[in-house]
Homo-oligomer: A and B are copies of this chain.
Amino acid sequence: MIELQKALDTVLDNTSLLGFEGVSLTRALNRVLAENITSRDNLPPFDKSAMDGYALNSAETKEGVSKFKITGSIKAGDFPKNGIKAGETVKIMTGAALPEGADAVIQIEKVKTCEDELEVCGKVNRGKNILREGEEIRKGDSVFGKGTFLRPSEIGMLASLGYSSIECYRKPKIIVITTGDELVGVDDEITGGKVRNCNEYALAALGNNLNADVKSYGVVEDNREKILNSVKNAFQEGDIVITSGGVSVGDYDFIEYVLHDIGADIKFTSVKIKPGKPITFATFKNKLFFGLPGNPLSVINTFEVFVTPAVKKMTGRKDILSEEFPVILEDDFRSKGDRDNYVYVNIEERDGKYYAHSVGSQSSNALFTLTRSNGVIIIKEGIKSVKAGDILNGKFIFK
């Protein structure tokens, strides 16, 4: 049984970037850039009007009233062939290119017009309502670096820079194998000794929530040969293989044997964490294997603690570890003290402080508890009891 931190370090030390692939911009939301993006143009690409109004030479305005002759109109998308001469102005739409000779735009709401005459009241400042060529970005400027997470704002920016397709880190393909002869399908009646298979659904959701591709092999019988074949196929097809069940000391716990059969490099089979002690981690040809326990709460907890950081690292994300912060307890909690104990709670923020209250049984079976929680507090190994008012580290889940 190894320390949690050592186990996590081992997982991350064995996890590398998956490589990259071209992704269409329309499908790049929430992906991570695998290339450096520079601008191919000045943005804005020309001096342009920020308002609907009239383009003029500011030097021709004064205190009091100045008059101009309106000689035309420029709509957005047009490029003015002729400049304006002394005493002239042109009507200009938001986003349209400024004509030669003009250096300011006065807003349409602030002027009077009569036929082709414009009356401006007061001095207009040079540059007023003008967006200068290159004021946002200059050609050749670095815009985004590798590792940038693509939100709607970055998607829009990439479009304006002319990138319809970009290199992103590849998403991992996760293969989920569920074991346990006690499992019946979700549509089946529960008969003697059986329970419904929930881990397959929870694991697929956990993977999808990280934007990974998930494929499930369904429930595989507690039979060494059958599990071996499934795991072999999974290593061929996936980047990450996840099993649930079969990792404890029972007579039908075949995962460790199967990993030996394949020749996988088993890194650990037991970690000082509760729930989830009998978690197994192995590598095989640069692919990762997580043998998660069978109990639903243990499955989700070990996925969050070990698989989530690995997936994030593989896909180039910078926020590999979810942030821990101090949490003030509102209830007493007990622990056995033999392992780091992840206690699922509800965390609320009030006035910049976080408070945690109990939401029920922490039995590793108690998935219902998890549905009432939004976070965990961590009672460190060696501590057997904590009281309301104590401060522990906590974090939000599914982040």
Binding site for B on A (CB under 8 A): 25-26, 29-30, 41, 43-46, 50, 52, 73, 75-80, 91, 93-97, 108-109, 131, 135-137, 143-144, 151-164, 180-183, 185-188, 190-202, 204-206, 208-209, 222, 248-253, 294-296, 299-300, 325-326, 352-354, 361, 363-368, 370-371, 373, 397-398
Most buried by B among A108, A196, A300: A196
Separation of A182 and B45 alpha carbons in the complex (Å): 12
The 3 closest A-B pairs by CB, nearest first: A79-B192, A156-B202, A77-B182
Instruction: Give complex CA distance A254, B360 in Å.
Output: 58
Query: Which of A45, A79, A108, A159 has the most chain B CB atoms inside 10 A of its CB?
Result: A159
A157 partner, pick from B95, B97, B109, B367, beta carbons under 8 A: B367
A181 touches B300 (CB 8 A): no
Q: Is there contact, CB below 8 Å, between A26 and B204?
A: yes
The chain B residue sitting closest to A216, CB to CB, is B26
Beyond the given pairs A52-B253, A156-B300, A326-B352, 10 more chain A to chain B contacts, judged by CB atoms under 8 angstroms and listed by A's residue number, are: A75-B181, A76-B180, A77-B193, A91-B251, A94-B295, A108-B250, A152-B300, A154-B371, A156-B205, A159-B197
When C-beta atoms are compared, the residue in chain B nearest to A161 turns out to be B196
- Nearest residue in B to A365 (C-beta to C-beta)? B131
**How far apart are A110's CB and chain B's nearest CB, in angstroms?**
11
Query: B residues within 8 A CB of A131?
Result: 363, 365
